[in-house]
Amino acid sequence: MTDWDKYLKVGIGHAGELMFLCIKFESMDYKSAKFKPVDKMGDLINHDYKLLLVMSRFGLSLGFGDKTVEQVCRENGVDVPTFLAVANFIHEGNNLLEGNLSQLSVSDLMGYLKQAHGYFLDFCLPAIRQKLAEALGTSIHGEIAFLILRFFDEYVAEVRRHMEYEDTNVFTYVSNLLEGKPLGNYTISIFARRHNQIELKLVELKNIILKYYPERGNNNLLNAALFDIFSCEEDLASHCKVEDFLFVPVVRLLEKQKGVV
Ligand SMILES: [Fe+2]
Ligand SMILES: [Fe+2]
């Protein structure tokens, strides 16, 4: 077995320690927030194009003209504080959340996370695989290309298990909590303790290609696949952060309100 083969088999520890969340519980004010309800939706997207993904995961489509965030959200039945909490959180890229968590909509936040799962599993990762296969298809290093694709497929299977656990267990628990149905022994703390980062193996795949793939000639196809992997890695990391630092605290608050914990 070569060093490279061994490298492929290296597992990633997912014991990511959760950082403490700094939350201010006063009121939902937007004084220090980057984006506010009165901002134009177009300005928001021009300022940070990643928020296009946030919009579509909240079910908001393009064609909003000069409407403000508040107008676009209200017209589409999307909770304004929840949309802005996610948009500001993703834009700032940190764990500081200001505002009253009780003003966020648990069901809208959960809907956003579910849509993100669909995006990763049904669109983003299959598109990367297709690009990667196309880029490696012309390779004279058939065995390496095969191993890279196998590594990628194993990674996608891992992401699928992670997201299916959330869809089946966590979101079902939270839906039951919202509807006042019997809950069993589950609490959101069980999820928070076992929740791990899923982008790390993608970092490893990217590094394998960068460091060990013996490329020749035109790199455009492989570079395009790498760009997508970089972007997907960033998107997956912020998805996990939204779950850890927005969703979990909001559900904990709901559990307190319902007298579960
Ligand atoms: Fe998730
Ligand atoms: Fe997750």
**Which band of pLDDT confidence, cut at 50, 70 and 90, is reported for residue 29?**
low
**Which band of pLDDT confidence, cut at 50, 70 and 90, is reported for residue 5?**
very low
232 Cα to the center of ligand 1, angstroms: 13
Which residues are CB-contacts of 42 (< 8 A; sequence separation ≥ 6)?
64, 65, 66
Which residues are CB-contacts of 250 (< 8 A; sequence separation ≥ 6)?
101, 104, 106, 109
In the predicted model, is pLDDT for residue 109 greater than 70? yes
Q: What is the DSSP string of 178-203?
A: HHT---TT--HHHHHHH---SSHHHH
The two most distant CA atoms of the chain are separated, in Å, by 64
76 Cα to the center of ligand 2, angstroms: 26
173 Cα to the center of ligand 2, angstroms: 15
243 Cα to the center of ligand 2, angstroms: 6
In the predicted model, is pLDDT for residue 36 greater than 80? yes
124 Cα to the center of ligand 2, angstroms: 16
Q: What is the pLDDT of residue 259?
A: 86
67 Cα to the center of ligand 1, angstroms: 30
Q: What is the pLDDT of residue 76?
A: 96
Highest mean pLDDT: which range of 18-22, 76-80, 148-152, 253-257: 76-80
In the predicted model, is pLDDT for residue 24 greater than 50? no
Regarding predicted confidence, which is higher, 4 or 236? 236
238 Cα to the center of ligand 1, angstroms: 10
Alpha carbons 209 and 222: distance in angstroms, whole number: 9
Alpha carbons 180 and 64: distance in angstroms, whole number: 37
Q: What is the pLDDT of residue 176?
A: 95
246 Cα to the center of ligand 2, angstroms: 12
117 Cα to the center of ligand 1, angstroms: 6
Q: What is the pLDDT of residue 84?
A: 95
**Which band of pLDDT confidence, cut at 50, 70 and 90, is reported for residue 172?**
very high
In the predicted model, is pLDDT for residue 132 greater than 80? yes
Minimum mean pLDDT range among 66-75, 99-108, 237-246: 99-108
45 Cα to the center of ligand 1, angstroms: 23
Which residues are found with C-beta within 5 Å of the ion, ligand 2? 243
195 Cα to the center of ligand 2, angstroms: 6
The share of the chain scoring above pLDDT 90, in percent, equals 61
Q: How buried is 167 (Cβ within 10 angstroms: 0-12 exposed, 13-18 middle, 19+ buried)?
A: middle
**Which band of pLDDT confidence, cut at 50, 70 and 90, is reported for residue 138?**
low
Instruction: Find the ligand nearest to 192 CA.
Output: 2
182 Cα to the center of ligand 2, angstroms: 24
- pTM score of the predicted model: 0.84
217 Cα to the center of ligand 1, angstroms: 38
Q: What is the pLDDT of residue 217?
A: 61
Query: Which residues are registered as beta bridge partners of 68?
Result: 40
165 Cα to the center of ligand 2, angstroms: 9
Q: What is the pLDDT of residue 208?
A: 85
Instruction: Find the ligand nearest to 195 CA.
Output: 2
111 Cα to the center of ligand 1, angstroms: 11
